[in-house]
Structure 1
Amino acid sequence: MGTSNGAKSRIAVDAMGSDLGPAEIVAAAKLALGEFRDLSPITLVGNEAVLKPLVAEAGLSGNENVSIFHASEVITMDDKPLMAIKRKKDASMIRAIELVKAGEAGAAVSCGNTGCLVGAGILKLRTLDGIDRAALAPVIPRANGHFILIDAGANPEAKPDHLVHNAILGTHFCRMELGVEKPRVGLLTIGTEEGKGNALIAETHESLKRIGDLINYVGPVEGFQVFCDEVDVVVCDGFVGNICLKSWESLAKFFSNELKSQLKANPVRMAGAVLAKGAFNALRNRIKPERYGGAPLLGLRGNLIKAHGSANRQALKNAFHDASEMIKIDLNHRIEADIARANEAIQRVVV
């Protein structure tokens, strides 16, 4: 099976990059197509000999919204980004991104090696006009809702202009993903007083104030504020963001495991746990990563979503939906216009 008409609306899925195997990817495609009636068609990119039986088993053979694009190689989690991009030219991840570049798909989704995905995305798709660096933007739960963290690791050595761009990228994605019309944007730092933080923070803060007509900048925010209902977009460089993301994920797992251990400590607590089962289930559903299946790599000339390596079919289903929505609203066109205006405002001050 190959790609079909309406190629630009298709989602190219790296079907070989998941820790759970291609069967989970196919199962996710079936779930997504069944739940989201207006979902863009899906092209599964990977070894056809492996995928074809799985598609048949899932009852998707002959479905006009599912196709297979053969790719003979797989990028593993142990592969070094530049080496893998150079040597594994027929890898499923690379081919999925190339389908977007060629206009044969409107978005690509992969659970694979993050470094390889970011590197291949930048090399193959290039950044939008006016943007130097791409940024990863995961969705994270907080009080009364969720917020966008940007950047979560794509650009660890950022300059002030990069963080200004992150604010614009995050604002547009927040509107699409969370439905917040005027997202509150905060700059992550070590204190909210003027002058707190390093030179990067100080210069970025001044630039963000100058583009107030493009974003709803509420000022610097500290770490304890991000989980309160105070900001919808948290801006930082990729070094800080990646540490924050992994620390928060680890802390959530720690509290979950610790709670289970303490509840099982004696019969009285176990009885209480049974009575509070509904509350525990609600909490688990509130913070589970499956609700938002992946983090988009924003700022590229094409839509690219990074799903977690161990993402299950429910998480992937939602990642496919996000990819479909990004295609439909033409997110990049809206971003480019605001980036141009921001760059002009910043340049006027520099000159």
Structure 2
Amino acid sequence: MTLTIALDGMGGDKAPEIVVDGAARALEQLPELHFLLFGDEAKLAPLVAARPALAAALTIRHTDAFIAGDAKPSVAVRQGRTSSMRLAINAVKEKEASAAVSAGNTGALMGMGKLVLRTLPGIDRPAICGILPSRRRPIVLLDLGANIDCDATHLVQFAVMGTVFAQAILKIERPRVGLVNVGVEELKGDDIVRNTAAILRQLPPPIDFQGFVEGTDIFKGDVDVIVTDGFTGNVALKVAEGTAKMLMDELKGAFSSSMRGKLGYLVSRPALGQLRERFDPRVHNGAMFLGLGGVVVKSHGGTDGFGFGQAVLVAAELVRNGTNEHIIQAMSQLGAMLEPASEVAAS
């Protein structure tokens, strides 16, 4: 059965090359894919023509307009109605495609997604959800920046959506949920965090709340889904990325600083290769805007073709697993409990 994915051909630091390359890589793994590629046909057509297999599974939809990476989201939403990003999202709304993937401006993509696709029943705000490595196995972290200020209701909804996402993508039957706080003690944190924890403790499966998680424990892997507001989540993500890059740069410098270091590199090269592969951000590229009324996946703007291909595969997996349908079902099942639980937590 054909699965159609809409692609923003002009979004990303290295577009359109990485978009076309990523689509070709994804097609090799999932031959049932078909693509609607939106963008400048003069730039896209030669890249696609060089890949005959992809050309047979792809349709180019021409548009000259695109959203710049540094564009102000509110302006992009108002003025970008004919942009490659907006047309890709429109294709999802109009049922021409089952999902949209873009490496472009995150704020604009979220704004357009909310405007065009709205939110799922029972969801007040979409959240950016991503997969990160940990000491044990990959973990889910949300929100990564869509919502700076959140109340307990929003965080509880994030927990439900993150749980369904982990079931669909990580294949974890009963994901363990943790809530980011300044300490693990019940009295730590502000009212919002404590109220959220009180609600989560009362919810039945699929929610399996494990308690608070400190910043130092996010990557231990003791829980599978980590919930926080968009400000904290974005800072945690950027700190983790910066720390990983610093360590790799320091290792590279140490190994190249002397003959002994170079010899040490030769000895440890296989282990370093495994380490690099495990923490390669491209492997887990593809953050979903959970809660939108359609599947929209954001690829890292600076990724390459391999990374963009991974984002396409994430989108396909979300569609095939019916992630949005499961979120609606979970919110419907828990809906009757959420309001009284919120009242108890507040009191």
2:294 alignment partner, one of 295, 299, 302: 302
Aligned to 2:45: 52
- Offset at residue 60 of structure 1 (A): 4.2
Q: Kindly provide the amino acid, as one letter, of the partner of residue 223 in structure 1.
A: G
Q: Kindly provide the amino acid, as one letter, of the partner of residue 153 in structure 2.
A: D
TM-score (norm 2): 0.95
Q: Kindly provide the amino acid, as one letter, of the partner of residue 79 in structure 2.
A: R
Separation (CA, whole Å) in 2 of partners of 1:54 and 1:62: 9
Aligned to 1:241: 233
Checking the alignment, whether the CA contact within 8 Å between 1:26 and 1:55 is kept in structure 2 is yes
Separation (CA, whole Å) in 1 of partners of 2:281 and 2:54: 30
Aligned to 1:313: 305
* In the alignment, structure 1 residue 213 sits paired with structure 2 residue 205: yes
What are the equivalent positions in structure 2 for 1:51-200 lying under 5 Å apart?
Answer: 51-60=44-53, 63=56, 65-200=57-192
* In the alignment, structure 1 residue 279 sits paired with structure 2 residue 266: no
Aligned-residue CA RMSD (Å)? 1.5
Q: Kindly provide the amino acid, as one letter, of the partner of residue 169 in structure 1.
A: M
Deviations 1:63-87 (A, max 9, x none): 0x21112222010012111111111
Checking the alignment, whether the CA contact within 8 Å between 1:150 and 1:241 is kept in structure 2 is yes
Checking the alignment, whether the CA contact within 8 Å between 2:12 and 2:103 is kept in structure 1 is yes
Separation (CA, whole Å) in 2 of partners of 1:179 and 1:49: 41
Separation (CA, whole Å) in 2 of partners of 1:347 and 1:25: 44
1:33 alignment partner, one of 17, 22, 27: 27
Checking the alignment, whether the CA contact within 8 Å between 1:139 and 1:292 is kept in structure 2 is yes
* In the alignment, structure 1 residue 14 sits paired with structure 2 residue 8: yes
Checking the alignment, whether the CA contact within 8 Å between 1:60 and 1:66 is kept in structure 2 is no
Checking the alignment, whether the CA contact within 8 Å between 2:23 and 2:54 is kept in structure 1 is no
What is the aligned length? 343
Deviations 1:194-227 (A, max 9, x none): 1101111011000111113331111111112221
Separation (CA, whole Å) in 2 of partners of 1:190 and 1:67: 50
Structure 1 gaps, min length 5: none
Q: Kindly provide the amino acid, as one letter, of the partner of residue 224 in structure 1.
A: T
Separation (CA, whole Å) in 1 of partners of 2:333 and 2:85: 34
Paired-residue identity, %? 37
* In the alignment, structure 1 residue 224 sits paired with structure 2 residue 216: yes
- Offset at residue 174 of structure 1 (A): 0.8
Separation (CA, whole Å) in 2 of partners of 1:338 and 1:61: 37
Deviations 1:155-213 (A, max 9, x none): 11111011101111111111121111111100010111111011110110001111133
- Offset at residue 281 of structure 1 (A): 0.6
Separation (CA, whole Å) in 1 of partners of 2:71 and 2:140: 29
Structure 2 gaps, min length 5: none
Deviations 1:42-93 (A, max 9, x none): 1111112221121112224750x21112222010012111111111211100
Separation (CA, whole Å) in 2 of partners of 1:342 and 1:74: 40
Aligned to 1:323: 315
Q: Kindly provide the amino acid, as one letter, of the partner of residue 73 in structure 1.
A: A
SS of equivalent residue, structure 2 residue 288:
strand
Separation (CA, whole Å) in 2 of partners of 1:190 and 1:15: 41
Separation (CA, whole Å) in 2 of partners of 1:310 and 1:278: 27
TM-score (norm 1): 0.94
Q: Kindly provide the amino acid, as one letter, of the partner of residue 41 in structure 1.
A: H
Checking the alignment, whether the CA contact within 8 Å between 1:135 and 1:299 is kept in structure 2 is yes
- Offset at residue 233 of structure 1 (A): 0.5
Separation (CA, whole Å) in 2 of partners of 1:267 and 1:91: 53
